[in-house]
Structure 1
Amino acid sequence: MTFLRKTIALVVLLAAAAAAYFYWWSQKPITLDAPAIPFTINKGSGAHAAGQQIADAGVPIRPLLFNMLARATGKSAKLKAGSYELKPGTTPLRLIDQLVRGEFAQESLTIIEGWTFRQMRQAIAAHTGLRHDTVQLSDKELMERVSPGFTEPEGLFFPDTYLFAKGSSELDIYRKAHAAMLQHLKEAWDNRDPKLPYANPYQALTMASIVEKETGQKSERAMIASVFVNRLKLGMMLQTDPTVIYGLGPKFDGNIRKKDLETDTPYNTYTRAGLPPTPIALPGRQSLAAALAPAKSDALYFVSRGNGTSHFSANLADHNKAVNRYQKQ
């Protein structure tokens, strides 16, 4: 009897010790030899398979203990497949929660103000963290997937930094950027000056894209927009080089020539009145604001001073003087 009692006591003691160790292990941060370790949980993986996949990725964790912890917490059937990243300070218990919550490894992509849609597509196609499922689509086919109401993609995506889970579809980025642009455009349009010469928000977006390409000076965007708005109201040609360059497409070699200004295309605002048929770039928030709330001025011309700023004039005579002063000298 004494032997039995001692055996039972020993078993209880060992069980208590195992439970204490198990609790200690679950609360102890996993030791890493790197700033972070990426790993992927495959679809259909149970807790044991997930633990093995984590260990195979280089995370120093015991799959058996991981499986036991997932089952002990009642979360073994709740682990989400996907790409993750284990960071310093993570405990096994926190790791379980990370998998249950689906806290996937975050990637980012920055779309730059003033990029063309072509440049945006190139950046998305080159990003290693995305699932490339739109590469074979034409621009028209892509827009059918993103927003069937539009056929031309230029200007319809908001330049910003987008965060996403590794392995996300390229379509997710296009849809987020498109929705963001529509929202920002709506906000600017709803607060617009009612006297502006735009028939619809799309025309305002086109103007914003021209403003975006005409100046890198944020402080001048409202004045640049004022010049083009004033010209539209008077029926003057916009005569803006960026639209001509856009119309030249891949043929543009970095230098705009007199013959380019005289060659008619749908985007040549030296040969055609009014706004071009589509935006020419992806405008940012400030260019949208400038196009829909331009400065109050009578300016019709502007010329670069050569230092990144512009000189504005209300008549051709003053403009020619400014050109002689800042350009021809």
Structure 2
Amino acid sequence: MLRYKNFLSLFFISTLLTVLLVAFISLWEVITPHNLVDQVIIIEPGASFIQVADELKDMGVINSPFILTSYKKFFRPKSFIKSGEYLINSNDSPISIVDNLFEGRVLFHQFTIIEGWTFTQLLNNLRSHSVVNATNMTDSEIIDRLGINLDSLEGQFLAETYNFVRGDSDIDILTNAHNLLKDTLNEAWKIGKNNVLNDPYQALVLASIIEKETALSDERYIISGVFTKRLEKKMRLQSDPTVIYGLGNNFSGDITKDDLNDLNEYNTYRIDGLPPTPICLVGKDSILSAVFPDNNNYLYFVATGNSDGKHFFSSSLADHNRAVEKYLSNIKY
């Protein structure tokens, strides 16, 4: 009888130790990272948890799909994985990976709209992005989809960085960029102090010219002041970027006298006031500079010709002509 009791005790202890060992191994399996490098997994809609667990094993992220499925069964029986693209970091444990799949913590990509891009440049870069789903919608279809009451999409998207996920389309990103442009422009217009402009769209047009004239934030407000002063005095803006935009593919790379005399609706050497549309996509700072022009007496400016991108500003034509001579002298050396 005593031998039988000893046997039962030994059997119980052995069984308990085995259970504890299995539990320890299972716990170690789910809390210890097995991934040596960062990897990406794409979960297709309708994929089962077992399919995903097998794929994770094939990727070397986990050792045992059974242990992972057991974790789901006992600890998250009502949870379901969500489709999408997920980043698996080298220090992620199997349990944290699965939790990310349950919670839908998908991988975000970024797309940056560069200040000064034209809409054509934006669309080409957007549709060539490897993760963006290109819809190939026409300009008129995009205008209809976004509810824009204009004939041109130029300037209608804020230059900014946007987050998106795999599967998002070009129109998804364009929608976000257009909505942010509207919000930014309308807010700036409400608090702005440029009385020479009639509406937010004119502010956007002016902002686009400022955007192309300088990349220096502190000069944008000064240049805005120059253009505002010229508009007040009914002087033509005489902005080279508007000439270049109006020429389109006919621009040779250097502005000529014929270019300045070209009769097109964007050539501010030939037209009064602002051109009919923006000439590029703008950032927030250019919008703010358009509605908050610097209060100065300058009527002219020209590049210094130095590598810093700065300009000479003048109040008289005589001073401006001397600045032009200095610019020409600087670019010779």
Alignment of 1:241-256 (within 5 A): 241-256=240-255
Matched, 1:23 2:24: no
Residue 225 of structure 1, CA deviation: 0.7
Within 2, Cα distance between the matches of 1:56 and 1:141?
A: 44
2:175 matched to which residue of 1? 175
Within 2, Cα distance between the matches of 1:179 and 1:24?
A: 48
1:27/1:93 contact within 8 Å kept: yes
* Count of matched residue positions in the alignment of Structure 1 and Structure 2: 324
Relative to the length of structure 2, the TM-score reads: 0.89
- Structure 1 unmatched ranges of 5 or more: none
> For 2:76, which of 74, 77, 83 is the aligned residue?
74
1:46 matched to which residue of 2? 48
Within 2, Cα distance between the matches of 1:57 and 1:47?
A: 15
Within 2, Cα distance between the matches of 1:314 and 1:173?
A: 43
Relative to the length of structure 1, the TM-score reads: 0.90
1:314 matched to which residue of 2? 315
| Superposed CA RMSD | 2.2
1:298 matched to which residue of 2? 297
2:35/2:92 contact within 8 Å kept: no
Within 1, Cα distance between the matches of 2:260 and 2:59?
A: 59
Q: Which runs of 4+ in 1 moved over 4 A?
A: 1-13
Counterpart secondary structure, 1:17: helix
1:63 matched to which residue of 2? 65
Task: State the AA in 2 paired with 1:31.
Answer: H
Within 1, Cα distance between the matches of 2:189 and 2:287?
A: 9
Within 2, Cα distance between the matches of 1:222 and 1:75?
A: 60
1:240 matched to which residue of 2? 239
Q: Deviations over 1:1-54 (max 9, x none)?
A: 7677766665554333322322222221x22232x1111111112211121233
Matched, 1:14 2:55: no
Task: State the AA in 2 paired with 1:23.
Answer: L
- Over 3 Å counting, the alpha-carbon distance change for 1:45 and 1:326 in structure 2 is closer
Q: Deviations over 1:153-184 (max 9, x none)?
A: 11111112222223322222112211221222
Alignment of 1:191-206 (within 5 A): 191-193=191-193, 195-206=194-205
1:154/1:281 contact within 8 Å kept: yes
Within 1, Cα distance between the matches of 2:8 and 2:304?
A: 98
Within 2, Cα distance between the matches of 1:56 and 1:322?
A: 68
Q: Deviations over 1:247-306 (max 9, x none)?
A: 111222312211111111121111111111111111112211111101001211112221
- Structure 2 unmatched ranges of 5 or more: none
Within 2, Cα distance between the matches of 1:22 and 1:154?
A: 59
